[in-house]
Amino acid sequence: MDLSDLQQLLGRIAGVRVVAVGDLMVDRFVHGQVARISAEGPIPVMARTGESVMLGAAGNVARNVAALGGEAALVGVIGKDAAGREAKDLIAAEPRIEGYLITDAERPTTIKTRFVSAGQQLLRVDEETTLPIGGEVESQVVRTLLDAARGAKAILLSDYGKGVVTPAVIAAARTAAEREGATLIVDSKARSFAKYGPVDVVKPNAAELAFATDLPTDTDDEIEAALARALELSDCRAVLVTRAAKGMSYALRGAAVRHRRRPPPEVFDTMGAGDTALAGLGQAFAVGAPIEDVMDLALLAAGVAIQKAGTATASADEVIEAEIVERLAPAEAKIATPDRMAREAARWRERGLKVGFTNGCFDILHRGHIAYLAQAREWCDRLIVGLNTDRSVRALKGEGRPVNDLESRAMVLAGLRSVDLVVSFDDDTPLRLIEAARPDVLVKGSDYQLDGVVGRDLVEGWGGEVRLADLVEGHSTTATIAKLARRA
């Protein structure tokens, strides 16, 4: 998709009402550090350091609708328990989500608790019932859905097999969609797509499509055969399958299958990526975008989410940024704004990576710089370099400096394997960048004293460290310029 078309599409999406209905979960993440194996058995011992909680399943779909700029109505069932109250609080904290929750005192709120260390899941514990809702609870869900769908342009049905998506709820979703002229998309983990009737789109992933059709789904040809079989076995108008790094494939009755791919981003956590894709698909369909643009938006949004930890969202700004970065050469893609730097650093920390920060003018790159940056990178998993602007270099070094302009200096630094991001700053010190990046390791040269390192108090205050890297004697930009002058 052209960048201007993407921006226009996101502008059209802003404020569009979308209903997310179905199985609602609370995703809990218990974080900690593992340093030893238990003497009681061959299991890791995790020292707990913290906990985070977020909405999952239909709740995560609603979060992603809101993140992309839409207005989400979330219809679901909770138990009369602490997790149900937690779900209400999480919804109340989201200004773009309206909660339409029905309490069922006979069933628990679905909770998935994951124990995570160094960005890796050690264990997941589920608390749930998969019995179908019924009686007055089911009737309340039907009435609530019909009411919440007023003014909606898309209805997104999340069927995780936890009992909320009953035949009556499916029928109500179809009725509401027909009444409002809304697109109805089902994210299905069911064995049979026939249960949904004539919905607009069923959206499985490749494994779920294979499960529903008893056919392989690896190659394009296999996907096309499985999609044709899925349409034979159901009354849905179209099937769209998400295929991880292989993109998406879309089969509309009576039309050729369309495949869409994008260069796969670095994958950290695929959890909830299907919810993100569903939100993007629903919003793009809601405003009548062409199918190619619908798939592109969903792929972009999911690509943002899988670079984050947990059940993550993708904002409109992040989607635009991802499209811009994808068009850049690898070195150019490392040159970031302070806002992007802050988001990248936060994502790296979520993944258990140690973030480092250093800064300088780096005017004429020489052997000393290379050795310095290589050593700094050894102390961290990701290294951010703050780079003085041309004005601030002149303020520090005097007239005639820098020899190379900011763009040139940034590109050369970004071409180094040891450097992960380059961010320019115009202030006299990089203090504001340090505050935004919140590095775990702050690095300066050994010509500094620890007390003289800008940002030391901040970094040590949040538990980080300051390290002084060795300098290669006889190598500096000033010495290089002097040597060139003598030769001239």
**pLDDT per position as a tens digit, 282-332:** 999 999 999 999 999 999 999 888 887 767 888 888 888 888 877 777 788
Identify the CATH number of the domain in which residue 91 sits.
3.40.1190.20
Pair (312, 352) in one structural domain: no
Pair (30, 79) in one structural domain: yes
Confidence of residue 270 (pLDDT cuts 50, 70, 90): low
Angle ∠(303,120,321) on CA atoms, nearest 5:
20
Average pLDDT, the chain: 91
pLDDT at 473 over 80: no
> Tell me: the pLDDT tens digits for 411-466?
999 999 999 999 999 998 999 999 999 999 999 998 888 888 999 999 999 999 99
Could you tell me if 30 and 125 are in contact, meaning their C-beta atoms sit under 8 angstroms apart? no
* Last residue within a domain, chosen from 273, 308, 327: 327
- pLDDT score of 312: 80
Q: 300-325 as b/e, with b when 16 or more CB fall inside 10 Å?
A: bbbbbbbbbbbbbbbbbebbebbbeb
* Last residue within a domain, chosen from 271, 306, 327: 327
Q: How far apart are CA 24 and CA 88, in angstroms?
A: 11
Please identify which residue in the block is written with the tokens 């998935």: 112
- pLDDT score of 487: 64
Arithmetic mean of pLDDT, 338-349:
91
Burial class (CB in 10 A: 0-12, 13-18, 19+), 141: buried
Residues 6+ apart with CB under 8 A from 255: none
Burial class (CB in 10 A: 0-12, 13-18, 19+), 63: buried
> Tell me: the pLDDT tens digits for 195-253?
999 999 999 999 999 999 999 999 999 999 999 999 999 999 999 999 988 999 999 99
Arithmetic mean of pLDDT, 10-25:
96
Strand partners, 355: 382
Pair (294, 366) in one structural domain: no
Q: Where are the alpha helices (DSSP H) in 37-162?
A: 58-67, 82-92, 135-148
- pLDDT score of 266: 63
* Last residue within a domain, chosen from 289, 311, 327: 327
- pLDDT score of 106: 93
- pLDDT score of 62: 97
Give the CB-side neighbour count of residue 432, counting CA atoms within 13 A: 11
Confidence of residue 474 (pLDDT cuts 50, 70, 90): low
Identify the CATH number of the domain in which residue 463 sits.
3.40.50.620
Pair (376, 398) in one structural domain: yes
Could you tell me if 21 and 157 are in contact, meaning their C-beta atoms sit under 8 angstroms apart? yes
Range of the domain at 458: 332-487
Pair (321, 395) in one structural domain: no
Helix axes of 206-213 and 220-233: crossing angle, nearest 10 degrees = 50
Pair (192, 300) in one structural domain: yes
Catalytic residue (one of 275, 293, 420, 440): 275
What is the number of domains present in the chain? 2
Pair (35, 10) in one structural domain: yes
What is the bridge-based pairing of β-strands 71-79 and 44-57? unpaired
Pair (10, 117) in one structural domain: yes
Number of residues assigned to the chain: 488
- pLDDT score of 420: 94
275 catalytic per annotation: yes
Pair (394, 473) in one structural domain: yes
pLDDT at 475 over 80: no
Pair (304, 435) in one structural domain: no
Pair (279, 233) in one structural domain: yes
Arithmetic mean of pLDDT, 110-123:
90
Q: 264-297 as b/e, with b when 16 or more CB fall inside 10 Å?
A: ebeebbebbbbbbbbbbbbbbbbbebebebbbbb
Query: Comparing 12-26, 46-60, 446-460, 473-487, which segment has the lowest mean pLDDT?
Result: 473-487
Pair (323, 337) in one structural domain: no
